[in-house]
Amino acid sequence: MLSAYPHSVPSYLQADQLGAWGNYLQQVDRVTPYLGHLSRWVETLKRPKRILVVDVPIHLDDGSIAHFEGYRVQHNISRGPAKGGVRFHQDVTLPEVMALSAWMSVKNAAVNVPFGGAKGGIRVDPRTLSSSELERLTRRYTSEIGVIIGPTKDIPAPDVNTNEQIMAWMMDTYSVNTGATATGVVTGKPISLGGSLGRREATGRGVFTVGVEAARHLGLDIAQARIAVQGLGNVGGVAAKLFAEAGATVVAVQDHSGSIFCGAGLDIPALLAHVAATGGVRDFPHVDILANEAFWEIPCDILIPAALEQQITIANAGRIRASMIIEGANGPTTPDADDILAERGILVLPDVLANAGGVTVSYFEWVQDFSSFFWDEEEINSRLVQIMKNAFASVWQVAQDKKVSLRTATFIIACQRILHTREVRGLYP
């Protein structure tokens, strides 16, 4: 499989352990025949602009010193400053961060915001750290990557296991180190530090918006739809809430604690409150407990994977009983699984389109920080919905015209925008 792109594997990676980066390379290979004269620039998409690997040493509360490995990858900056989140997770790897940064390039171009793609992470289980240790880790990491981030260079944001508080520490650290308050260096900040209204719910709202648009094309009545959601954080939780408010029935939810099912429909506000109080869905009352693998076999109209990457694989794609999949997470479906789903007639709304609501409102936050003029939530949500609808309409049209999947159609639009900019900028020197 990997031999299809032997020259696209950087020397610092093992060709047989590419993980998510290998999936991304396959996606680029699939879109290349549709790029026309721009295909001569396609290697640009297969090589990150800049990769920084840093040591993150901190004092632990017991007086010992611990070292953690941190990353910041800037995939492409042809269209504007790099933009992408920072995740704290024990399984973070360089190939994963590279892939996530590349998907950010595609995502930003797909919704046509003036950003390139980036991603960052630290290999750490944040549950093992105290609040003070987490703060020291965040501040040290920010100092280490401070040489390449900045409001006009690279703007981090929250991702897995990071939040408004983490962003506040990052903003403060960068500001102290540069000697000036720079609210625009990160997005997803607290409102009091220049954060944007509507940002926390933006990714889930984007998932809901494109889901409604796709359902309309499929003739699916959202008010009659049965929905299964994997992950009940900012993305899955908000999407579940919005679909439930629209009349849909959320029948199954899976998170790190387990999988639950209720044929009559889960009480989403009560479930969200339960998760906030207990940290997981497992002990929610009056539900059936499912084996995690059985979750993928639940009959539903819409399946929303909103957790981590590579959840839908060749092993379970054949068992999925949904009409439509909306990718709330980044990279939840492998290319092989994509093919199986296509053969079975299951419509996939790809991550690079479906979860772009977050970066869209991050763009709004960045603009507001620069202008020091802030919009109300109604205006932000209205602008977000319009951008997502326009992006979906463009992708749907390309998919129909070229008879390709929505993922390939999104890549066609995004990669053409990225490579056209690369072409007109030229190479220096």
Compute φ and ψ for 186, nearest 5 degrees.
-135, 160
For residue 53, the cross-strand partners are 71
For residue 148, the cross-strand partners are none
Cα 114 to Cα 142, 351, 407: the distances in Å are: 24, 19, 21
* Three-class secondary structure of residue 348 per DSSP: strand
Q: Is 83 a known active-site residue?
A: no
**CA dist., res. 338 & res. 350, Å (int):** 10
List the strands of the sheet with 50-59, edge to edge.
Answer: 50-59, 65-76, 116-123, 82-89, 154-158
Contact 183/189 with Cβ under 8 angstroms? yes
Q: Which residue has the tokens 């693998």?
A: 293
**CA dist., res. 183 & res. 180, Å (int):** 9
Residue 59 host element (H or E):
strand 50-59
DSSP 181: -
Beta strands in 225-294 (DSSP E): 226-230, 249-255, 258-261, 288-290
Cα 384 to Cα 206, 296, 356: the distances in Å are: 7, 31, 10
Helices (H), 262-376: 268-278, 335-343, 351-354, 357-371
Find the radius of gyration of the CA atoms of the chain: 21
Q: What angle is formed at CA 78 by the lines to CA 186 and CA 150, rounded to 5 degrees?
A: 25
Residues 6+ apart with CB under 8 A from 400: none
282: Cα separation from own chain's centroid: 25
Q: Pick the catalytic residue from 119, 189, 241, 389.
A: 119
**CA dist., res. 429 & res. 409, Å (int):** 33
Cα 426 to Cα 36, 41, 68: the distances in Å are: 18, 10, 38
List the catalytic residues.
Answer: 119
